[in-house]
Chains A and B, each alone.
Chain A
Amino acid sequence: MSTAALHTDHHHDHDHHEHKESFISKYVFSMDHKMISKQFLITGIVMGIVGLVMSLLFRMQLAWPDEKFGIMEMLLGKWAQDGKLDPNFYMGLVTIHGTIMVFYVLTAGLSGTFSNLLIPLQVGARDMASPFLNMLSYWFFFMSSVVLLISVGVETGPASAGWTVYPPLSALEKAMPGSGLGMTLWLVAIILFIVSALLGGINYISTVLNMRTKGMSMNRMPLTIWAFFFTAVLGLLSFPVLLGAGLFLVFDRSFGTSFYLSDIYLEGVGAMENIGGSPVLYQHLFWFLGHPEVYIILMPALGITSEVISTNARKPIFGYTAMVISLMGISFLSFIVWGHHMFITGMNPFLGSVFMILTLIIAVPSAVKVFNYLTTLWKGNLRFTPAMLFSIGLVSFFISGGLTGIYLGNAALDIQLHDSYFVVAHFHLVMGSSAIFGMFAGIYHWFPRMYGRMLNNTLGQFHFWITFITAYLVFFPMHFMGLAGVPRRYYMFTLVKEFDVWMDVNKMMTIAAIVGGAAQLLFLWNFFYSIFRGKKAEQNPWQSNTLEWSAPVKHVHGNWPGAIPEVYRGPYEYSRPDREDDYFPQYVPDESDSVGTGGDGHGSAPKRKSTKKEEVAENVMFAAIKRVFGWS
């Protein structure tokens, strides 16, 4: 990655002669948000490849349970003797795949990359609030990734209790091989990860609230920034709770406490001492993070989509305010719905009802977002760049997957659907595929901004369509399987006759997965090739309005060589009837301000007034903080 940027940044020393940087401080322990974002991206991609390969391995097992694969033995050694995957290691693969995808790729890789890249550039700041913490954030993430990868190689296998690692299974070393050292390393990795996420989140919030350039009032922020902001807030409030849950688990595992353990007789050990612990307590703590986490994953993708769709439809995003409010609503609600993952844990049925009601309310803001995307496309002038295609793909997945949330959120239906393949279909569509597509959209859209070069368009088009079709082929049939009573996390289905009818579907899904996986090679080739050899990027290749495209193509420290540009209007002024061009960047002053529309691009409120109102609100907030902390 380092040499990569070396090419693009080759000349920039001339611009900034005062300080020469050493290789290490520039590419390794860099404190520049743009470099850190590239580091996040590349690490995320590497982790993504690992997660993808794992998924292909266990899909192969599901499709051909009786077959022997030399490749498995080659990759997994003793865990696939004679090319047959070991059931315990199957669980390990599933677990690590889930962990990697949820935390490492879609949390750090997505939000870490784009929050870092875009927040300072789009709000007009020189860098993050604290570049040092930002650097720490990446290196904690890096260490965490390394620990997780090491855990796959340990003798007793990696953590294998599912990505949710419910105790007692995860708490008792003797409950399954993966609950030994592998689980310990998993916990270490996750704790490091939480630290990283918190350090990052703190920076994002404080940069957004505190360091916007002149004229960049909150209601002129691009929706990406709003999304990153809410994401960071969710992370800040929920990751500490996971930390608490993890610490208790560490105590139970290592210090013999009984937070989660009670009444256990373990084969090969005998009756355990622990009584009075509550395994369900862990689930409450976990899902208090877990549900916000799914939105931590999705919201940056939604933000990216908003930006990309608006730019490539050459139209203002429809209902900017509604978009922001629904993000806000989703963020708020996501803290009070965690119980929908626990309907059938035996918790009080009335509590279940409450969680059901709250859960289904979330569907409303989600629906609003979808309708707004559709209306943005309506009567647009759609340019099908790869980024645009991936964004449209995201909307499609978000619809298909989001609607099944309405089934699952219904406690009565969840009795039947819980932990079936229906759930797998739900979250792979709404979270897995959606967010990955958002990430791809972001990469294709901002690659010129990151590396100063363009990605190959043709490969992008192929990449999109193959990935899109195969993703549907893999995940859509899972609905049918789940409804027909096929449980999740089974090593093979041949032991139950009733599942035989799904064998050919299983094979089809696996083949689709392999083809889809191979299509990622197109992307990887495109990505790494273009870093060095891609076409040189123009200043503003997509004719976009937002501030990041006003910064020089070659990165400079502090983002803008001169003064930070001022912002004059909202980010989505595309195809304004009173203008020749179909875009009107935020940083271009009104020539005459004659019409006085000066609209913020998302509402008819006169510019001055709304800015003022909001300034007042903000002043109140800062004054309150200062008062509370005695800083006035």
Chain B
Amino acid sequence: MKNNHLSGIAALASKKMFSAMLLLALPFFAIAQTATDVVQPPKEFSLANWDWEFISYCTLAVLLILIVARAFDIGSLTEKITGKKVVNWNSTNRWVAIIFLVASVAGIWYEMIYHGKYVMIGDSYSEHGETIDSMFNWTFGFTFVVFAITEALLFYFMFKYRYRDGQKAHYYFHNNKLELIWTVVPAIVLTFLVLRGFNTWSKITAEKPKDAQEIEVFAYQFGWKARYAGADNKFGQSHFTFISGKNPLGLAVQDHVDSLLVDLKKDTALLNLQIASADDSAKAWKAAFVKFNTGSNATAYPAVFKELKTKMEDAESGAYVRQLKKDLRRKNTTITRISTYRKDDKVFNNAGNDDKITTEIVLVKGKSYTFNFRARDVIHSAWFPDFRGQMNVVPGMATWFSFVPNKTTEEARVEKNNKDFEFYLYCNKICGGAHYNMKIKITVVGSEAEYNTWMASQVPFVAPPAAPAPAEGDSGAKDSSAVVKPNAVTIR
């Protein structure tokens, strides 16, 4: 055999095939080459780190399987010798099928009793939500009937028509009438559902109701903010370039934007400096690396070693300067953009000063609301499951959703018999590591008065002189000057 290989390979060398092989393998090698660099270094090998419990379970499981298999092998051997079937799978399966059918009915039944009340049937807390629920009920009605009949038939047929020797199947391959029926009937049912769905959908999404109060809902990694228009009932303008630590929503507020401009200019000055002294830094880093890389330092402090090495390599390959230049360009563009807007009085019209940015949404029962969505970084999705509302929140694209809450939080608590119950708005589009923890509380109050009390407790964005700054610590946005962590120019 071995001989065969060798001569085979030798014979191939002159053939097309070989070149094709090489051609195919080349990128593969290239990838493997780069991969050695990037794949995590293996952890230090120590058997103590291993999950021996788990491994022993696995071993046991495998052993068990082998034993079972062996047992059945012996079974089939007896089958062969005695000529009798030990197990007749055809009749076994018919019973298993029936048991399965019964068990699954029981299972669904149990689940319905156990969890059915959490299923959306019947507890929408908004007006349009009721139309969605009714749509749901209709769909559920039709599909459940079909589901029950077809699944029952399937398993019943397994039971009824199992193989018997000497029996012949019914030679039946075609029936136009039947086929027509089961094309047309679903089509009619679906037409009904489509029309109803069309109506429901069009009403919900038609256009923004005119008398609705508007609330801006702002999404970022990872949280939500709501913005109310404040006393003047007018929203201030906003732009993503205005965003800074103190101004997480990027409102057009003079002081904040001006100080952002100052910060940005400082950053660009620093970047310019760094670019100018890039050669020196490169030398310094190299020296630092060489100095560090003695004795067993590299293995003793792998993290430091790696950091120094990357720094040195980046500087040597020019990646460092390229990155600086990119940053510089980006900041300059931002500065230009801000400066252009800054001159525009229509943008900086002070309407935003009294806007209230809140970490909770409060609504009044029976009032119509339009939520205007804005995202800062990636796509999020605003899902109000209790109100049957959802809309994606896309950077650079305005989206909205309107609804009328028709029960208060208190009423919901009573209904659900749960005094801690709260409504939430969840993020429902994968947006990063903390996606699972991105929610904002919604409270529906019964009267305008309650709402006003709450509103009064919220601070306007630009506080009257004495009040403290409103921006929350949890906004997560750091001051933009901290954003560019200036690589220490001098490490020497």
Contact = CB atoms under 8 A, between A and B. Distances in A.
A246 to B, nearest CB: 17
A320 B292 CA distance: 76
B120 interface: yes
B56 to A, nearest CB: 12
A601 interface: yes
A353 B396 contact: no
Across chains A and B, which 10 residue pairs bring their CB atoms closest together, nearest first?
A22-B8, A262-B396, A485-B385, A70-B51, A346-B399, A263-B396, A379-B170, A349-B205, A316-B173, A484-B118
A401 B460 CA distance: 50
Given A70-B51, A265-B243, A364-B186, A383 B430 contact: no
Interface in A81-114: 86-88, 91
A272 B75 CA distance: 70
Given A275-B396, A456-B73, A457-B89, 17 more contacts: A22-B5, A175-B221, A263-B395, A273-B333, A314-B168, A316-B172, A316-B173, A367-B182, A370-B150, A374-B157, A375-B175, A396-B154, A485-B383, A487-B426, A490-B436, A525-B66, A575-B168
A353 to B, nearest CB: 5
Q: Identify the interface centre among A153, A271, A277, A577: most chain B CB within 10 Å of its CB.
A: A271
Contacts of B424: 496, 498
A525 B65 CA distance: 8
A413 B163 CA distance: 44
Interface stretch (A119-127, A154-162, A218-226, A438-446): A154-162
Interface string A180-203: 010000001000000000000000
Contacts of B35: 150, 153-154
B381 interface: yes
B72 to A, nearest CB: 4
Contacts of B491: none
Contact of B143 (A271, A371, A407): A407
Contact of B115 (A273, A321, A412, A501): A501
A264 interface: yes
B476 interface: yes
Interface stretch (A43-51, A165-173, A606-614, A618-626): A165-173
B266 interface: no
Given A169-B431, A501-B115, A575-B170, A143 B147 contact: no
B200 interface: yes
Q: Identify the interface centre among A160, A346, A383: most chain B CB within 10 Å of its CB.
A: A346
Contact of A412 (B1, B100, B200, B437): B200
A380 to B, nearest CB: 5
Contact of B395 (A264, A317, A413, A487): A264
A378 B154 CA distance: 9
Given A314-B169, A577-B171, A74 B72 contact: no
Interface stretch (A230-238, A354-362, A547-555): A354-362
Nearest to A574: B169
B49 interface: yes
A377 B220 CA distance: 54
A577 to B, nearest CB: 5
Contacts of A382: 90, 157-158, 161-163
B136 A413 contact: yes
A315 interface: yes
A177 B439 CA distance: 22
Interface in B86-128: 87, 89-90, 92-94, 96, 100, 104, 107-108, 111, 115-116, 118-121
B381 A456 contact: no
Contacts of B51: 69-71, 73-74
B376 A403 contact: no
B436 A356 contact: no
A179 B36 CA distance: 20
B190 interface: yes
In the complex, which range does the number of interface residues on chain B fall in?
Answer: 35 or more
A318 interface: yes
24 contacts: A22-B12, A147-B31, A166-B429, A270-B334, A344-B391, A379-B169, A380-B161, A382-B162, A389-B93, A406-B139, A406-B190, A406-B193, A411-B197, A413-B197, A416-B388, A419-B429, A457-B76, A492-B436, A495-B437, A525-B69, A526-B69, A574-B169, A575-B170, A603-B173
Interface string A577-613: 1000010000000000000000101111000000000
B197 A264 contact: no
A545 interface: no
A379 B31 CA distance: 57
A214 interface: no
A603 B132 contact: no
Nearest to B118: A484
A315 B476 CA distance: 66
A124 B336 CA distance: 69
B169 A381 contact: yes
B151 A399 contact: yes
Interface string B237-254: 000110100000010000
Interface stretch (A23-31, A204-212, A288-296, A559-567): A23-31
Interface in A391-422: 392, 395-396, 399-400, 403-404, 406-407, 410-413, 415-416, 418-420
Given A412-B197, A412-B201, A601 B173 contact: yes
A416 B401 CA distance: 13
A487 B172 contact: no
Given A22-B8, A273-B333, A280-B394, A381 B161 contact: yes
Contacts of A154: 35, 38-40
A469 B100 contact: yes
Nearest to A400: B147
Contact of A268 (B27, B427, B483): B483
Contact of B202 (A349, A410, A604): A349
A247 interface: no
Interface string B287-324: 00000000000000000000000000000000000000
Interface stretch (B17-25, B345-353, B362-370, B449-457): B17-25
B234 interface: no
B396 A521 contact: no
Given A70-B50, A484-B118, A485-B386, A24 B90 contact: no
A141 B29 CA distance: 15
Contacts of A457: 76, 89
A166 to B, nearest CB: 6
Contacts of A537: none
Nearest to B485: A268
B436 A491 contact: yes
Interface in B188-225: 190, 193-194, 197-198, 200-202, 204-206, 220-221
Contact of A403 (B76, B147, B202): B147
Interface in A458-473: 458-459, 461-462, 465, 468-469, 472
A420 B381 CA distance: 11
A484 B397 contact: no
B111 A357 contact: no
B357 interface: no
A574 B170 CA distance: 9
A493 B436 CA distance: 8
Nearest to A469: B100
Nearest to B424: A496
Contacts of B72: 456, 458-459
A169 B154 contact: no
Contact of A265 (B40, B240, B394): B240
Contact of A381 (B139, B158, B168): B168
A603 B174 CA distance: 6
Contacts of A319: 173-175, 179
Contacts of A268: 478, 483
A165 to B, nearest CB: 10
Contacts of B96: 465
A472 to B, nearest CB: 7
B480 interface: yes
A368 B394 contact: no
A168 B162 contact: no
